[in-house]
Amino acid sequence: MAEAAQDRLRIVDPAANPYLSGRYAPVDRETDADDLQVEGTLPADIDGVFMRNGPNPKFPPLGSYSYPLEGDGMIHAVWIGGGKARYRNRWVWTNGLRAEERAGRALYGGIMTPAFVDQGLLGPDPDPGWPIKLDAFINIVRHADRYLALEEGTPPYEVSPELETTGRYYSPGLLHTGLVVAGARGAGLTQGDGHLTIMVCENSEERGGRRCHRRRRGVAGGTAAGAVRAAGGGVRAGQVEVHHVRLYRRAAFGAG
């Protein structure tokens, strides 16, 4: 029988890894601050929320830790309205993270040290991507009135407007195995022109299995709307599922 990751791999010592200690040390709790102290005055016409997603391992990693390429997703959010501000943070509770919470320790090896995971510990609905853990920290986007915490190569996780995890999200009617990995380059989000390079993978019985190809689209003004239009250009409805369109910042903006 194959040796499980937690039996074969050593726990990474946080004190020996600069990205697990000091200013990079993971946030170890979920917190609510309902009435933040404000220095000065918040503009009365600001009413919304700023969200940021990033890697934040809940348990000491096994085998290796490669920042910023892995780690449990944690979303931080600040709501502003009525001259006040409040804060909340939450982990993105993937099924893999829930399994580790039940076990009280990390179960997956790092991306540089992938290893067998005891399937009996992962529950009846393990996340795709095995033996690599699905870490939904790549971005947080608001799309079609949903908040999606993204990962590269596997389905996103949906969270509520208050950051509570809803579950894995699959777009209705689209392939669950479709993939788009995108990176915007150019002068920025608000000025200058840029371009968007995407890789589209699809399963096609007519073409003999899984096929991937790249597409490059111009992004006028470097805007998010332009990036979405660029990503969608030439992709037929129902052909692929767009898992993420990544620009520059791991953030989502929405109405309060």
Per-residue pLDDT reduced to its tens digit, 78-136 = 999 999 999 999 999 999 999 999 999 999 999 999 988 988 999 999 999 888 999 99
Structure tokens at 60: 């000491």
Q: Are residues 181 and 139 in the same domain?
A: no
Same domain assignment for residues 136 and 191? no
- Is the domain of 130 the same as that of 211? no
Task: Return the higher-pLDDT residue of 118 and 183.
Answer: 118
| Residue 173 identity (one-letter amino acid) | G
String of b and e for 193-221 (b: at least 16 CB within 10 Å)?
ebebebebbbeeeeeeeeeeeebebebeb
Q: How many folded domains does the chain comprise? A: 2
pLDDT score at 8: 78
Instruction: Quote the pTM value.
Output: 0.70
Q: Which of these ranges, 42-46, 109-113, 238-242, has the smallest mean pLDDT?
A: 238-242
Residues 59, 89, single domain; the answer is: yes
Domain co-membership, 66 together with 90: yes
How buried is residue 236: exposed, middle or buried, by Cβ count under 10 Å (0-12/13-18/19+)?
exposed
Same domain, 77 and 190: no
In whole angstroms, give the CA distance from residue 97 to residue 122. 9
Residues 110 and 27 both lie in one domain: yes
Mean pLDDT for all residues in the chain: 76
The whole domain housing 102 covers 5-171+249-255
Token pair listed for 48: 């919304």
Residue pair 165/179 in contact (Cβ under 8 Å)? The answer is no
Does pLDDT of 239 surpass 70? no
